[in-house]
A and B are shown apart, each in its own frame.
Chain A
């Protein structure tokens, strides 16, 4: 038993509980997931792929206690920066991977995939991101975190999810207005269009690196 396990054991004991082995439950859920995977593989292969990837994301998020809200909130609120630095590392690796894939398509003269994620920048982006930032802090988790916590057994996040859906639907209702006034006047900027492929990736990595050192210094000065 290491220290972490011992702490958990002590905490449970103080509540008069014995640590329970939940492996049989895990086995049942895994069996269900395998069954659903096979079923999806037969009826809809796209759904199958997304489902399996979702399982992977959920497992990793939970296992590493990764929370994107905490990554951007904690440097400001508590001064802890470990998660922020890990998120920046993740952004850097993914940038390289995505750019390689996109370049391969470009090089073969094929349409570059995933370009709809190069979103138009407009006043709606600023407002949307701003209220998203407020929302994730006061509810204690963003979208991926909300789904993850429902899996961990949190009841509160079910409330968050319900209102997340209502908020999304509400915005869908108003969407035409936002599009007319702001989004249609927005502009898309794909960095390689300005700096070339290597230049674009370098600029992106340089911003990530600068943020990394900024966050690192912030962490030190707070301590």
Chain B
């Protein structure tokens, strides 16, 4: 359709939707959305807290039960059998990240399925995923919940997390260079 061509070649459209933004602008915009998020939801941004619930829901779907698991008895992590993504705000925010990134990529006409290249990549993804999942749960969050939101909440835990995460980065980089690339 012609209208799409016309929009696509518009100069200001290119500036806002086709070219990538400088990191500094990205940082400022993320800060603004963090503050909006805190204002309207009353809680800072977190990503991983809800992922254990996803695991539990799938586990229960296959007949397992987490009824007596301490983790699901405390705090906001209680779940029910009729777990529904649409009624789980934190899940919807994560799905929002996927769709927001998809929209951004499509508006720039850059979307492409990127295939998995080799077994090394898969090993990295499996091991990395497990370590991140486990680590985030016992450290009360990921780079977003524990670090970004922790530091912004004036919590010392954010800084301690940052120091030890960086030690992990050093070890991870050595593993990456030696075995994975």
A residues near B (Cβ < 8 Å) are 2, 4-5, 19-27, 29-30, 33, 39-40, 43-44, 46-47, 49-66, 68-69, 72-73, 76-77, 82-83, 85-87, 89-91, 93-95, 97-99, 101-102, 113-121, 124-140, 142-144, 146-157, 159-173, 175-176, 178-179, 183, 188-192, 200-201, 204, 207-208
B136-172 residues at the A interface, CB under 8 angstroms:
136-157, 159-172
Q: Are A163 and B34 within 8 A (Cβ)? A: no
Q: B81 to chain A: which residues have CB within 8 Å?
A: none
Our pick among B31, B71, B125, B142 for the contact of A143 (Cβ within 8 Å) is: B142
What's the Cα separation between A146 and B69 when bound, in Å?
27
Residue pair B157, A165 in contact (C-beta under 8 Å): no
Contact A40 B92 (CB under 8 A): yes
Interface centre among A66, A139, A170, A175 (most CB of B within 10 A): A139
Contact of A138 among B58, B89, B111, B172 (CB under 8 A): B172
Bits for B48-80, please: 1 = Cβ < 8 Å to A, else 0.
100110111011000000100111100101000
Q: Assuming the A-B contacts A121-B156, A191-B156, are A153 and B105 also in contact, with contact meaning beta carbons closer than 8 angstroms in the complex?
A: yes
A23 to B14, CA, bound (A): 12
Among residues of A, the one whose C-beta sits closest to the C-beta of B152 is A94
Contact B152 A118 (CB under 8 A): no
- Distance in Å from the Cβ of A31 to the closest Cβ of chain B? 11
Q: Decide if B55 touches A168 in the complex (CB within 8 Å).
A: yes
Q: Which residues of A contact B159 (CB under 8 A)?
A: 207
* A23, B77: Cα distance in complex, Å: 39
A128 lies within 8 A of B138 (CB): yes
* Residues in B neighbouring A46, C-beta threshold 8 A: 41, 89
B interface list, Cβ under 8 A from A = 1, 4-5, 7-8, 14, 18-48, 51-52, 54-56, 58-59, 66, 69-72, 75, 77, 86-90, 92-116, 121-122, 124-157, 159-173, 175-177, 180
A25 to B142, CA, bound (A): 32
Option from A91, A113, A146, A147 in Cβ contact (under 8 Å) with B152: A91
Whole-angstrom distance between the Cβ of B116 and the nearest chain A Cβ: 5
Residues of B within 8 A of A101 (CB): 35, 38-39
B31: chain A residues at CB < 8 Å are 89-91, 93-94, 97
Known: A53-B93, A144-B47, A168-B48. A132 touches B139 (CB 8 A): yes
Interchain CA distance A154-B114 in the complex, whole Å: 5
| Residues of the B chain whose Cβ atoms lie less than 8 Å from the Cβ of A200 | 154
* Contact indicator A165/B133 (Cβ below 8 Å): yes
User: How far is B1's CA from A112's CA once the two chains are assembled, in angstroms?
Assistant: 53
CB of B16 to closest CB in A, whole Å: 9
Among A4, A49, A53, A77, max chain B CB count under 10 A is at: A53
CB-based contact B125/A163 at 8 Å: yes
Residues B113 and A138 in contact, CB atoms below 8 Å apart? no
Are the C-beta atoms of A153 and B112 separated by less than 8 Å? yes
| A5–B69 alpha-carbon span in the complex (Å) | 53
Among residues of B, the one whose C-beta sits closest to the C-beta of A153 is B113
Give the Cβ gap from B143 to chain A, nearest Cβ, in Å.
4
Contact of B47 among A130, A135, A143, A166 (CB under 8 A): A143
